[in-house]
Amino acid sequence: MLGLSLVFIVPQAQAAGDRALGEYLSATCVSCHRPDGQSAEGIPSITGWPSDQFVAVLKAYRDKTREHQIMNSLTSGLSDADMDALADYFGSLSRK
């Protein structure tokens, strides 16, 4: 009975945790991109973007249709769910 209960609980927890997952995954991003919404030394701000645009850019780096050695490498290990979570998190932050 417990196993059946967990099947129904886990997907809800994952869906509700997207922003939290995005915040966790953002540690790599904020080493270059500032989380306060300001551009820094030619590195663009990634806060406040529309989710679909944010994900499209990450996928272009992952698929190497958009070239940048560091971004290609960093996005190569991201799943679509990871990208959605990052988009949700950074989209929730306002640009200054």
pLDDT single digits (tens) 40-95? 888 999 999 999 999 999 999 999 999 999 999 999 999 999 999 999 999 999 77
Instruction: Give the 3-state secondary structure of residue 40.
Output: strand
Strand (E) or helix (H) holding 94? none
Q: What are the backbone dihedrals phi and psi of residue 69, each rounded to the nearest 5 degrees, phi first? A: -50, -45
Domains of the chain in sequence order: 17-31+43-96 (1.10.760.10)
User: What does DSSP assign to residue 9?
Assistant: H
